[in-house]
Amino acid sequence: MLRSFVVVMFGTIGMVAFAPLAESQPSDWRIEETLTETRYELGTSQTHLIVECVKDRFGGGAVLDIVVDGSDPEPRSRTEIFIDDTRYLVRHDVVGVGVTDCPDCAQDFRALWSALQAPNLDEITLKRGERREYLPAHGGETLGRCEPG
């Protein structure tokens, strides 16, 4: 069952659809579908991973917002994401946004996205410098298509 709501923001009307998850498969992910993108959120305001997947007809691509222990990334820095024993690097641009538009960035993002979609995933670790935070990450099978770019 798909529930839709009409949203009016700053004089613009858009449609937001929320798909409820099966009760037998609890998910830690919050998923928001808008006209231009699908937004996947994991965590809290103090520590989170947000992946915004822009729809192809609006240019496509993905960007990441990663906050570790209340701190945004430094410009041109990297955040490490650990899933089991595998390390994934996210590169941040001049304003601290996690990017996927360079060849290495795209390859790393594809591998990360695939790992996040694993149905048996329990948690991920976000690490930046000496800061390390753990996030529950159940329900990865609910994540849809997301291409770098």
Q: What is the pLDDT of residues 53-81, one digit of tens each?
A: 999 999 999 999 999 999 999 999 999 99
Q: What is the three-class DSSP state of 67? A: strand
Torsion from C-alpha of 99, 103, 107, 113, nearest 10 degrees:
30
Cα 117 from chain centre: 11
pLDDT digit string (tens) for 1-28?
A: 444 444 444 454 555 554 444 444 589 9
The conformational region for residue 84 under phi > 0 = left, psi -120 to 50 = alpha, else beta, is: left
34 band by pLDDT with thresholds 50, 70 and 90: very high
How far is 41 from 64, CA to CA, in rounded Å?
Answer: 10
Residue 2 burial by Cβ neighbours in a 10 Å radius (0-12, 13-18, 19+) = exposed
pTM: 0.82
Q: Are 58 and 149 in contact (CB under 8 A)?
A: no
How far is 88 from 143, CA to CA, in rounded Å?
Answer: 18
- Of residues 53, 47, 54, the one with CA closest to residue 81: 47
What amino acid occupies position 148? P
- State the Cα angle at 20 between 42 and 125, rounded to 5°: 15
- Of residues 96, 123, 92, the one with CA closest to residue 108: 92
Tokens linked to 52: 């915004």
